[in-house]
A and B are shown apart, each in its own frame.
Chain A
């Protein structure tokens, strides 16, 4: 490949990273920006995790021992916000930055400078959000869903900082999404038709469309909050002719596609990894593409299932119930395709594969509990209990986070040119996989028995389960420190990446030399 050419060519030498801090402050290289996204996301994962640890410590025993209820409210609010907007979404943008150009044979992202701006808005936005802890009125305490009027009439002044932070995050995400689509649409290598694109690229293309469709709606709803709070409008205020329920309708019009924004790239990563380690092509590639599109479409028309308990009219409940259940069809297609990919494959179980298989199993549990809650009448029992907490954590932790771990182990050898320690990674996997179930599985039981979410105390009958849940949480949280150790160890002293990283891996990113040059695919490769 021509990409190894790093010879100095007069003044136009553009072949290596700039020296010092400038490399990062003014980065336009997709690899550097991807790296910054990933480290930021990892840092936020631990910050959000620290908030979760406070929650689990408080709930370790009944009674109030560690934090007062206001602090508890801030902890679960900031845990949700930081994990969603600071950890999972930026981590996927980091993956997109690193992988999309490598996988479609592009030299870089389509708009490198906009890429830089969308990255740097992120730490600023997170700083604005987290700085509320040090202000009068303290951090937001109205839950990550910030329902009106809790977030409008009754929130402290710092809610305006929260709104500003969300605006910045939204602008950052929209710019990132525009960049992804522009790259995929315009910079694919010759011969790479849409239906030859790797699954990860497909899922990100669809995710980017979701982002462009719903992040502006989120920006709109927080703007309405802002004017309700400060400029005398009454979008969500009944006394002025508004309607607080309207907030939920608009928020969930954003919020439901948002959960697919976090999970679709996971589907893509797993669809890359399973064929590699089963040494078989992905089963039903075309159906995977269409299923992803179908899930994305359906995500726009099911928001009402978050609002079953608000007194929707019967026809509305029935519509949202059936439309939601419909999502199980394309999701089922995906899960069966993954199973069929592994069927009679020559499987080996390296860390990326272990995380991916765990993803398929555990995400399916989260999906099935989702189906249970899609049933309007049954949802009345689950609503706002620990059952829903268990449901969405199964889809997001052993779902999205496991896919992130799998993807990191899978591509780390080409990202940093060095191998990670397989033995440690396997220990990390088993610790995570066991503790995540200890953490979240019993939450189904306490939820069904009626333990409400977002309350710092509970009756005595939930004491044993909560202690088990907390222990699972502590083990899970601590085992993620291993992940940092493994990644740092790989970067510092890992064995150099061999020419063939994984035996069954196929795709343009694996044909590049190791260690990866600073610029890749400067001459577009040909895809047949």
Chain B
């Protein structure tokens, strides 16, 4: 045994612990890279790389049902829903659909929509050419707006997929552009309001 040996071992192990702390953080970019490459987390390709799709071939032999969901976050006093529940499209064709949004509050509010696609393998084949989710949206008190999504499904999409769902959650932004969080105070449930289930 030697004091130096102990010190050396301890320092190496401490270094390993610090590295692992960094590794915990590194997992986030690692996962994001993997998800970008494979599209497995439902983050659709939001960019216009397929924008020049007008002339691309359209696969007339397949029809895929695309469903739409819209949810305003609990902190956002808006109506928000798709104007059509679903459409059937040929892969390769460009389609326009609209969401309806209305500000129910008596003041102007800015919000940001975050998209998600399921099944996740479809996400990277789902190109949004124009979308209200690309920018912040501001609605004046009581204002109503129809919001456009122009999208196209890549003909490369897995032949086993015949139904895709596009979902948006609309979040309220505060003055600095940060997302408003719900009030974190827990709601203590009042015991007396619970119906007692009779035993036996």
List the interface of chain A (C-beta within 8 A of B).
Answer: 61-65, 68-70, 106, 110-111, 114, 137-138, 141, 153-157, 174, 177-179, 181-182, 185-187, 212-221, 224, 232, 234-235, 237-241, 243, 245-246, 249-250, 253-254, 311, 313, 316, 457, 460, 463, 524
Distance in Å: Cβ of B182 to nearest Cβ of chain A: 6
Candidates B17, B121, B197; contact of A457 at CB < 8 Å: B197
- Inter-chain contacts of A214 with B (CB < 8 A): 20
Distance in Å: Cβ of B69 to nearest Cβ of chain A: 14
- Inter-chain contacts of B135 with A (CB < 8 A): none
Candidates B2, B25, B31, B179; contact of A220 at CB < 8 Å: B25
Task: Write 17 A-B pairs (CB below 8 A) sorted by A numbering.
Answer: A68-B189, A68-B191, A70-B186, A110-B6, A154-B182, A178-B14, A179-B10, A186-B2, A186-B6, A212-B20, A215-B17, A216-B21, A217-B27, A237-B179, A239-B73, A246-B28, A311-B118
Complex Cα distance A70/B9, Å? 47
- Inter-chain contacts of A238 with B (CB < 8 A): 114, 116, 169
Answer whether A234 and B179 are a contact pair too, CB < 8 Å, given A182-B13, A216-B20, A239-B171.
Answer: yes
Candidates B5, B14, B41; contact of A243 at CB < 8 Å: B41
- Inter-chain contacts of A178 with B (CB < 8 A): 9-10, 13-14, 17
Whether the Cβ atoms of B16 and A156 lie closer than 8 Å is no
- Inter-chain contacts of A174 with B (CB < 8 A): 17
Answer whether A111 and B189 are a contact pair too, CB < 8 Å, given A153-B181, A156-B184, A239-B112.
Answer: no
Complex Cα distance A69/B20, Å? 37
Complex Cα distance A16/B18, Å? 37
Q: Max chain B CB contacts within 10 Å: which of A241, A249, A313?
A: A313
Give chain B interface residues in 41-57, CB to chain A under 8 Å: 41
Complex Cα distance A214/B17, Å? 8
Interface residues as binary, B160-184 with A (CB distance below 8 Å gives 1, 0 otherwise): 0000000001010000001101101
- Inter-chain contacts of B40 with A (CB < 8 A): 313, 316
In the complex, whether B106 has a CB less than 8 A from a CB of chain A is no
Distance in Å: Cβ of A361 to nearest Cβ of chain B: 35
Whether the Cβ atoms of B184 and A153 lie closer than 8 Å is yes
Whether the Cβ atoms of A64 and B194 lie closer than 8 Å is yes
- Inter-chain contacts of B179 with A (CB < 8 A): 234, 237, 239-240
- Inter-chain contacts of A185 with B (CB < 8 A): 5, 9
Complex Cα distance A60/B190, Å? 21
In the complex, whether B37 has a CB less than 8 A from a CB of chain A is no
Q: Max chain B CB contacts within 10 Å: which of A63, A141, A234?
A: A63
Distance in Å: Cβ of B103 to nearest Cβ of chain A: 18
8 additional A-B pairs beyond A61-B199, A65-B196, beta carbons within 8 Å, are: A68-B191, A156-B184, A157-B184, A181-B13, A212-B17, A213-B20, A219-B21, A243-B41
Distance in Å: Cβ of A515 to nearest Cβ of chain B: 26
> Which chain A residue has the least Cβ–Cβ distance from B16?
A212
Complex Cα distance A223/B105, Å? 36
- Inter-chain contacts of A524 with B (CB < 8 A): 1
Interface of A is mostly: helix
Candidates A63, A187, A219, A243; contact of B198 at CB < 8 Å: A63
Whether the Cβ atoms of A249 and B13 lie closer than 8 Å is no
Q: Which 5 A-B pairs have the closest CB atoms?
A: A220-B24, A216-B21, A63-B197, A216-B20, A239-B171
Distance in Å: Cβ of B89 to nearest Cβ of chain A: 23
- Inter-chain contacts of A137 with B (CB < 8 A): 185-186
Complex Cα distance A215/B19, Å? 11
Q: Max chain A CB contacts within 10 Å: which of B17, B19, B22, B41?
A: B17
Distance in Å: Cβ of B131 to nearest Cβ of chain A: 16
Complex Cα distance A205/B92, Å? 58
Candidates B6, B13, B27, B189; contact of A69 at CB < 8 Å: B189
In the complex, whether B200 has a CB less than 8 A from a CB of chain A is yes
Distance in Å: Cβ of A146 to nearest Cβ of chain B: 14
Complex Cα distance A458/B67, Å? 35
Whether the Cβ atoms of A186 and B9 lie closer than 8 Å is yes
In the complex, whether B188 has a CB less than 8 A from a CB of chain A is yes
- Inter-chain contacts of A253 with B (CB < 8 A): 24, 27
In the complex, whether B134 has a CB less than 8 A from a CB of chain A is no
In the complex, whether B60 has a CB less than 8 A from a CB of chain A is no
Candidates A141, A155, A177, A246; contact of B184 at CB < 8 Å: A155
Whether the Cβ atoms of B24 and A221 lie closer than 8 Å is yes
> Which chain A residue has the least Cβ–Cβ distance from B197?
A63
